[in-house]
Structure formats: C-alpha cells, structure tokens
Copies of this chain bind each other. A is one copy, B any other.
C-alpha cells in the first residue's frame, strides 16, 4: 500500500455473504433468505450482513453463520471465496462484499429466532435455473461458490464435512455425486478413498441400512488434502452454467 496521501480514501461499506451448502436427500442445497428490506425486498438472497467495527471478515462470516444456522462452527468448513465490487452491484451505494463458502453436514433448518425474514434450503438446481432471480449479484456468487466446492472435492477431504459422523463410503460417494452432479462407480470410488492416506479412519462398526448389505463406518481422518486427487475428468458434464465472474479479463 503506497501513496496514502494522494487521493482521499473513498469510504466503502463492506459486507460478507455466505454460500452455505449442505446435502439433503442426495441433493446439494443452499441456504437462501427472503429479503425483508429494500432493495430487493421479498427477493431471495444469500444470507449475510455488514462487517462490524473491530471484526475480521472471518469473524463476521462466522457470526452470520451462527445467526443463520445456529451452528457450532467446529465441524464445518468455512473459507473465503471472492470479493465482489461492481460499483453498481448495490443500489444503495458503494458496497463491496466478501463471499464465503461454508460446507456442513445435515445442517438444521434455520432457527426461528433469527432476524432474517425467512430462511430456507433450496436445491442449487432451482436456485440457479433462472426461475428464481437472486438479489444483487448473488447468482454469480452462488455459481462461483458451486464451482469452488466442486473443485475442492477434487483436491481436499472437505467432502467429509458434509457427512455426519460416523459415515460410510457410500455416504461419501453420494456427497460427491450430489455436488458434482453425476454418478460415480461405487467400486472404483471405494478403492480410491480407502487408499488415500488419512482420509477415512475405520471405526470397526457397521451400519445396517433399510436395504442392502451393511456398510463399514468411518470417521474423518487427519488429512486435509486428498492425495492423489480425484479429478472429475471426462465424465458426463453436469448442469453447466459457466458464467463465472472470477478472474480478470484483460485486453
């Protein structure tokens, strides 16, 4: 940072917005709120809010997460996604937002006591298919969050963050299938996951499902990276709405 005296520092309002994903009924779902204030009153939006004095962005994101989902932050993954800064993105004026990606398992329905007008889980397919116009640039943020989540599953063990412990290899596979949007071969998936060091920690227990053979139960291992990665290579392309706003276009 240089040149502090030259130009007046333009004052800016900063918010955090959260892309909170969970998997329910083998479906990737995102938490949306119905806006209670102008602008976009009544529209669907990502949960979020203003960053307060003396608060880091991470703290603000954690606070909003707790307010929206009443969730203990321990078993969920939270990471910064991107900062969005189009001067026209908020009709009230200059508002820059920093988006966060949160992944959680079996997240509860939003507590009734929150001050969001209404919060609810929606399958990303419906949230993105154009029928539901999200407020501000939240559709773009959601797309970026989805792509980030999909990419993270390739290289890290965060998929386990979607699974309540203990879980089976099948549970984990259904997470991958829900997030990526296509089926995986159960046999090859199991071989891959059980060989990745530090991903799955056997409990010795088994789970007896409604139907089918019992499955071994696992806990999350200590590894955070998936080595070697599981790349969604040449599979069936999922519902692709590639219109990412990330990356700078030059020329």
Give Cα A106 to B42, complex, Å: 52
Closest B residue by C-beta to A9: B13
Contact, CB under 8 Å: A86 / B56: yes
Are A14 and B12 within 8 A (Cβ)? yes
Per-position binary interface string of chain A over residues 94-108, scored 1 when its CB falls under 8 Å from any chain B CB and 0 otherwise: 111110000000000
- In contact, A116 and B3 (Cβ under 8 angstroms): yes
Q: Is A191 an interface residue (CB 8 A)?
A: no
Find the B residue at minimum CB distance from A249.
Answer: B58
Closest B-chain residue to A68, C-beta based?
A: B2
Segment with Cβ contacts to B, from A32-40, A164-172, A212-220: A32-40
| Contact status A2-B36, CB under 8 Å | yes
A163 at the interface (CB under 8 A from B): no
Q: Are A1 and B48 in contact (CB under 8 A)?
A: yes
> Which residues in chain A, 217-231, are within 8 Å of chain B measured between CB atoms?
227-229, 231
**Could you tell me the distance between the alpha carbons of A229 and B233 in the complex, rounded to whole angstroms?**
11
Interface string of A1-41 (1 = CB under 8 A from B): 11111110111111101000000000000000101111000
A103-117 contact mask (Cβ, 8 Å, vs B): 1 or 0: 000000000000111
Chain A 77-100, CB within 8 Å of chain B: the 1/0 string? 011101101110010101111100
- Whether A51 touches B250, Cβ cut-off 8 Å, given contacts A96-B57, A98-B83, is no
Q: Which of B9, B52, B94, B231 is A10 in contact with, Cβ under 8 Å?
A: B52
Tell yes or no: A133 within 8 A of B by CB.
Answer: no
Query: Could you give, for residues 37-62 of chain A, a 1 whenever the CB lies within 8 Å of some chain B CB and a 0 otherwise?
Result: 11000000111111111111110011
Least CB distance from A245 to B in Å reads 10
A96 CA to B85 CA in the complex, in Å? 13
Contact A3 B115 (CB under 8 A): yes
Looking at the complex, which one of B3, B11, B14, B38 makes contact with A37 (CB distance below 8 Å)? B3
| B54 lies within 8 A of A250 (CB) | no
Closest B residue, CB atoms, query A78: B248
- 5 A–B contact pairs at CB < 8 A? A2-B33, A2-B49, A10-B52, A56-B87, A78-B250
Known A7-B50, A73-B251; further 9 A-B contacts with Cβ < 8 A? A1-B17, A2-B36, A2-B48, A14-B14, A14-B96, A55-B87, A78-B250, A79-B247, A80-B83
Of all A-B residue pairs in the complex, the 7 with the closest CB atoms, nearest first, are A57-B85, A9-B13, A11-B11, A73-B250, A78-B248, A1-B48, A10-B53
